[in-house]
A and B are shown apart, each in its own frame.
Chain A
Amino acid sequence: MILTPENDKNLILTLVEFSYAEYGSALEMLRASKMVKSPNLKMGYIDHAIDEYRHTELIYQVIRNQILDNEISDLTRLQFKPLNVILKGYIDKDGFLIEKLRLKNFVEFVYSNEFLAKISFDKLKLRVNDRESLNIISGIMEEEQEHADNSIETLNDIMKDEQKHWGYAKKYYESKYPKSKLKLAFTREKIKNRLRLVYLKNFKFLSNIFDPLINLLILIFGPITSLIRLPKDTKNIIHNNYDSII
């Protein structure tokens, strides 16, 4: 659900980022399926997760097609490594979205990001040349649109559940949903993604600032580390001091 730079010159690297974004989405949806109680909602999120997993695989198919047309020196960095979904920040281990947001806000988030993803894939399509890859991306786009549409239906279902379980008033729903709130959520997500984009674009600039600071730290503390002697173990090793971090 996190979008990547729209104007990235390196198409393949952009596609790799897309695949992690889709993978992150799959994990969020799967987590959501475990947190909701309604069997229908559970199933809806499981099906959504399956689509996102498939998108990850399909994007890799596009990547493989693109590699045939490009000379890439270090292919290992393009390998799909699940751990990168955490390292690259596509999921936040401090809490999945379903745990951080209320269910209603979570669905708003899904709606907005599926719609934004569709827009990004639209732009990506312009930069892919081969027919097979174009077909794959078109297929993904249709499903993203479907997920956005389903989110509105899901919102209706949730409101029914919320009325039942948490006592939300029907009047509240009818006065606030679906148009105005969704539009607001969409704008909010769009701004967030723009900010993310600004951050990514300036990442190199930020590195230029922080790298010398890290270097300075190493030059100060590096010599100190070489002076530290690690404590020796006792003969019966279980009598060592295990309150200490060293």
Chain B
Amino acid sequence: MYLGISAFYHESSVALISEEGELLNFQKEEWHSRVKGDKSFPKLSIVKILEDSADKKKQITDVIFYERPMRAWLTVVKDSIKNYGYLNSLSKNYFRNFFNGSMSFYKEISKFKELKACNIKYFDHHLSHSYSALMYSKSSFPKISIVIDGIGDQKTISVFKIKSLSEIELIWGLDYPFSLGLFYSAITDFIGYSVNDGEYKVMALSSYGRPLFKEKFDQILGFDKGNFKFDTSYFAYQYSTEKSYSKKFEQFIGKPRQSIKKLDVQDNDFQFYADIASSAQVVLEEITIKLFKYIHKQSDIKNFIFSGGVSLNSKLVSKLSKLNFIDSLEIPSSPGDSGASIGAAYFLSHKKNIPKKNNLYTGIVNHNKNFIEQKFRKIYDKEDIIEGSVALLNKQNIICTCIGNIETGPRALGNRSFLCDASNEFLVKELNTKVKRRSSFIPTAPVMTKNIANEYFYLDNKSKVLAQNMSTLVEAKQNALKYFKSILHCDHTSRIQISMDETYVGKILISKKANFHILANTSFNISSDPMVYSLEDAIMTIKRTGLKYLVTDFGIFEI
């Protein structure tokens, strides 16, 4: 078995993959530490995976890290020193933490006696992303893998031509410090959100704005016929640990937002920052579409897989899925850094021709039955979970789910969700702003069957596949505007999930007793917490939100 590890930059994670290439277990460190975006060495996740696999006969033979630590360190330090002098705050930080970041990987792994005999490998960061996408990919070879993120080892964009799982060629790349991902992060920082966390808020905000700053951004970055233009003088991430944008950027665009209050539609400065978000979103979309077109023209390949943090931008994905020259566009359920551990481990496997599973729920959780049964009143037995859930939803309740394995990716797909009838506008609003404590401009996503999705939304074959793990936005039809306004964004789009009949949420939606067509579905957590993992987290979160009903593998309980 092979253990893939991603750590020290975004949410850290561990993936265990069999020799045949099957994902056996996946754990994110934030699930265990309960610190959202925990990027520290995933000690708790490794312990969990070793505990779970203790009875397995086969041993872990190889441990693989998702990047080459020295290359990643040198790439940043060399650029920083060359262009901004020896003693800038970034280079000082990198030297000071030389033994704390990726370079400490070997030391940290050595602390586990169970892994001492393992071979240690270091994979390419963007190839880790690509293999994570390849693991789920059902399209035929050859295909193109496009990876766009902040930075990975050395590249910030990589385009691979994949002839087979063992024949991969880098056909186009963009080196650090030029970075489309870090441009979007700088905008996130400028609007006052945390980098690596608030990017989705910028995307949601962009729908409220007009691209008034696009011409200005065009002067900073662009893409034309294979050439990437990027003026680094507007950014500070190359030399500063404090800010991502430079003074020059402030002079060019305006005053950055500095507040500890949530930005909301009523705020005086809302429109200004929405316009900036809109402009950044349009530039991101325009450059990425040009890149896809350029690569298609060069390679004549029509099957694409897309990964890296930027592929989490569902608004961008919806634009890409409309490109006629693309036959197939696939995005893994965890396309960011946390999913890169899966790709790294998958690279080592023999990749036998096992049936492709969707692998949407691979985080194994062992629930404590005695605790919940002793402390709380069971209102439906485990055999009646579906019937009970439907009855509670019919009565216009919000239900909370903590059943089975946790979702592999960042989006709740029913196993760790708050669910309620999407036709109840008031209830969905309560869920979004009071329970989840989100800013009112961030929309709530829905889940529905494929038939219902066809009835209320404009779908093509590509978006039907992408909607299984909520990777794209789709446009609402007129009847959705009439009955399901609560789950539509201001631009009448929605990041829908098309349920699969065999899943818990799928079974609810196909129940004949259901009086609802569409459910509002949002992750089971409060805004600054990671998704609920165990029953203890679930009970704690329910009590903090004032909700009542918890659906578990052992029945439905009143908390």
Contact = CB atoms under 8 A, between A and B. Distances in A.
Given A64-B261, A237-B170, A50 B544 contact: yes
Contacts of A221: 95
Interface string A19-35: 00000000100110110
A39 B371 contact: yes
Nearest to B194: A81
A43 B260 CA distance: 33
A79 B260 contact: yes
B536 A46 contact: yes
Contact of A53 (B37, B41, B123, B544): B544
B536 A33 contact: yes
Interface residues of A, number: 54
A238 B75 contact: no
Contacts of A191: none
Contact of B33 (A64, A78, A93): A93
A21 to B, nearest CB: 14
Contacts of A237: 124, 127, 160, 168-170
B462 interface: no
Interface string B78-89: 100110001100
Interface stretch (B66-74, B228-236, B293-301, B335-343): B66-74
A89 interface: no
Given A94-B43, A215-B87, A228 B74 contact: yes
A238 B87 contact: no
A81 B196 CA distance: 11
A27 B77 CA distance: 35
Contacts of A93: 33, 40-41, 43-44
B219 interface: no
Nearest to A38: B371
Q: Which of B81, B160, B170, B371 is the most central at the interface, judged by chain A CB atoms within 10 Å of its CB?
A: B371
B534 A50 contact: no
Interface string B166-177: 111110000000
Q: Which of A81, A218, A221, A245 is the most central at the interface, judged by chain B CB atoms within 10 Å of its CB?
A: A245
Given A86-B40, A238-B166, A46 B87 contact: no
B260 A243 contact: no
Given A46-B540, A238-B166, A244 B122 contact: yes
Interface in B370-400: 370-371, 374-375
A233 interface: yes
B121 interface: yes
Given A215-B92, A218-B95, A226 B81 contact: yes
Contact of A34 (B77, B259, B536): B536
A86 B43 CA distance: 14
Contacts of A244: 68, 70, 122
Interface string A61-105: 001100100000011101111110110000101100000000000
A242 interface: yes
A222 interface: yes
B91 A80 contact: no
A219 interface: yes
B249 to A, nearest CB: 15
A214 B34 contact: no
A245 B41 contact: no
A3 B40 CA distance: 23
Interface in A34-52: 34, 39, 42-43, 46-47, 49-50
B537 interface: yes
Contacts of A76: 192, 258
19 contacts: A39-B370, A49-B540, A50-B540, A54-B544, A75-B258, A76-B192, A81-B194, A83-B38, A214-B95, A217-B95, A219-B86, A222-B77, A236-B169, A238-B168, A238-B347, A242-B64, A242-B121, A244-B122, A246-B68
Given A75-B260, A243-B121, A245-B103, 5 more contacts: A33-B536, A42-B536, A46-B536, A81-B197, A86-B33
Interface of B: 33-41, 43-44, 64, 68-71, 74-75, 77-78, 81-82, 86-87, 91-92, 95-96, 103, 120-124, 127, 154, 160, 166-170, 192, 194, 197, 258-261, 347, 370-371, 374-375, 528-529, 534, 536-537, 539-540, 543-544
The 10 closest A-B pairs by CB, nearest first: A246-B70, A245-B70, A75-B258, A39-B374, A82-B36, A222-B86, A33-B536, A39-B371, A242-B121, A93-B40
Interface of A: 27, 30-31, 33-34, 39, 42-43, 46-47, 49-50, 53-54, 60, 63-64, 67, 74-76, 78-83, 85-86, 91, 93-94, 214-215, 217-219, 221-222, 225-226, 228, 230, 233, 235-238, 240, 242-246
